[in-house]
Structure 1
Amino acid sequence: MKWNVKEWLRRYGSAEVLSVLATLGGAFLAFELTRNSVSTALAGTWAGNVAYFGYILALDIGQTRRQLHAAGQAYTFRTLLRNLRALVVEFGLAEVFDSFLVRPALMYYLPKAVGNLAGGILLAKILADVTFYIPAIVSYELSKKRLRRF
């Protein structure tokens, strides 16, 4: 597999920035409302996911719309389903493991271990991203040839 670091940074970089902000915001809000570590971990995980995947989906839709418009074709509901399928292939395996096990567990334990909510959540996010991006990038590279041609 070719190392496409610039492409990966373009694809994932802005989504990561949004995800960090949403993760911290969701975790802090949940902590302030509940003072519960489980709620804090889950809220941080899912707020980050919504921001991340919302941005990636918007990016993919925009790119596909431009491609189709240049070819004189319309973006349809079927095209949206193809965009969604490509995302499931790219992130599915990595996301299930990440969102239901790795990230919430790290966001639960690390703030306690480091003695700081923000530092623990941020450290948890960084560590979880390592286990997330390895399978996600491999899947993305494999899916480009078949699932991202519109």
Structure 2
Amino acid sequence: MKAKLREWARRYLPAEALSVLATLAGAATAWHLAPGREVAAALAGTWAGNVAYFGWLLLQDVVQTRRQLRAAGQPYTRRTLARNLRALVVEFGPAEVLDSLLIRPTLMVWLPRWLGSRNTGILLAKLLADVTFYVPAIISYELSKKRLRNFGE
């Protein structure tokens, strides 16, 4: 189990760190541009965090796949990129839809109000939403590894 926890930490923690920064920056920018528009700030924070998070993961997957293919003497093609993207959709699809369209924006609207602090509310909302996000994502990741992430064949 320790090996799995290390694997998941290596995969998800750098993406999470970037996502936290992007979430705060996106929400702060929206609050600055549209004061009082909490829903806009919540959505901006959510989507900025998503771009940073999934951009990092896709970059890591592409780098790893290129290494595997290079070792096997095979090229990285558009078809390979499509396979990398499909693996991410399988890993995150169901969890992401619920997270981005309902759970995370709702928490990002209400927690800053309840706590009386924008940044604390946004950070707490992100952490709470991550719990409901990672359980199905990790299960999907583990189930997809052999079928969708083995490029050295």
**Which structure 2 residues correspond to residues 3-18 of structure 1 after superposition, within 5 A?**
4-18=4-18
Instruction: Tell me by how many angstroms 1:142 deviates.
Output: 0.5
Tell me the residue number matched to 2:148: 147
Q: Distance in 1 between matches of 2:134 and 2:23?
A: 17
**1:72 alignment counterpart:** 73
Equivalent pairs, count: 149
Aligned twin of 1:98:
99
1:61 is paired with a residue of what secondary structure? helix
Where 2:95 maps in the other structure, the secondary structure is helix
Specify the alignment match of 1:128 in structure 2: 129
Distance in 1 (CA, whole Å) between partners of 2:127 and 2:13 is 13
Aligned residue for 1:20? Answer: 20
Query: Helix, strand or coil for the counterpart of 2:103?
Result: helix
- Residue 145 of structure 1 and its aligned partner are, at CA, apart by 1.3
Distance in 1 separating the partners of 2:10 and 2:131? 17
In 2, Cα distance between equivalents of 1:7 and 1:40 = 33
Q: TM-score, normalised by structure 1?
A: 0.98
Paired residue for 2:118? 117
Q: Give the partner amino acid of 1:67.
A: Q
**Partner SS for 1:72:** coil
Gaps of 5+ in 1: none
Show the counterpart of 1:47: 48
In 2: Cα distance, 1:141 partner to 1:121 partner? 29
Look up the SS of the partner of 1:74 in the other structure: coil
Question: In 1, distance between residues paired with 2:72 and 2:6?
Answer: 27
Q: CA RMSD in A?
A: 0.8
Q: C-alpha offsets along residues 82-138 of structure 1, whole Å, 9 cap, x if unaligned? A: 000000000000000000000000001100010000000000000000000000000
Q: Percent identity?
A: 68
Q: TM-score, normalised by structure 2?
A: 0.96
Cα offsets for 1:14-50 (capped at 9, x unmatched): 0000000000000001001101101100000000000
How far, CA to CA, are the matches of 1:40 and 1:114 in structure 2?
16
